[in-house]
Amino acid sequence: MQENEFPGWHGTTIIGVKKGGKVVIAGDGQVSLGQTVIKGTARKVRRISPGGSDVVCGFAGSTADAFTLLERLEAKLESTPGQLARGCVELAKDWRTDKYLQKLEAMLIVSDGEQMFVITGAGDVLEPEHDVTAIGSGGNYALAAARGLMETDFSAEEIARKAMAIAADICVYTNGNLTVETIGG
């Protein structure tokens, strides 16, 4: 490693599952620096209440960057009450065009209980197929597990918890200390 290279933060698995009129967003609690776990109880899923509405957000990436994005999203949603898709698109536009925001390194999963979106710094606002999505280092593991469980009788929360447990067993940057938020129904 060169002298000016920082090993970088790794970690986080966030999953969103929509089933039975409910959306569950769950995230693990591990934060790693290089090969070292520096915190196992981080809270990467939060509830925001712009204009009295209820929105659940999960984030992967830099915590400070994610909080900046959550604050911006909350402001967008306050100016467009009840219009989650529009607020997400407005945030993604700003993220792509604002020189300050372009440097932010995070991804978000957001839901109002009816709609669910993944927002990226590339300007993407993606509505997931199959009513499940995941981001972060263990996201692909959790996504595959949840997709396989969607055909069962399990609830959205049960699917999210089981998928996160599978991701935690496979991804060294993911632990089983979950924050789970449910919205809708």
> Each residue of 149-174: pLDDT tens digit?
999 999 999 999 999 999 999 999 99
Q: What's the start-to-end Cα distance of the chain, in Å? A: 50
In a domain, 76, yes or no: yes
Single pTM value for the model = 0.91
Question: Where in the sequence is the domain holding 34, given as residue range(s)?
Answer: 9-174
Query: Catalytic positions, please?
Result: 12
Asked if residue 143 has pLDDT above 80, the reply is yes
Query: How many folded domains does the chain comprise?
Result: 1
In a domain, 170, yes or no: yes
In a domain, 2, yes or no: no
Q: What CA–CA distance (Å, rounded) separates 52 from 93?
A: 24
Give the 3-state secondary structure of residue 111. strand
**Rounded average pLDDT over 2-24:** 75
**Of the given ranges (4-18, 36-50, 154-168), which has the lowest mean pLDDT?**
4-18
Q: Are strands 45-48 and 36-39 parallel, antiparallel or unpaired?
A: unpaired
CATH of the domain at 27: 3.60.20.10
Rg (CA), the chain: 16
In a domain, 181, yes or no: no
Q: How confident is the model at residue 10 (pLDDT cuts 50, 70, 90)?
A: low
Tens of pLDDT, residues 69-117: 899 999 999 998 889 999 999 999 988 888 878 888 889 999 999 999 9
In a domain, 4, yes or no: no
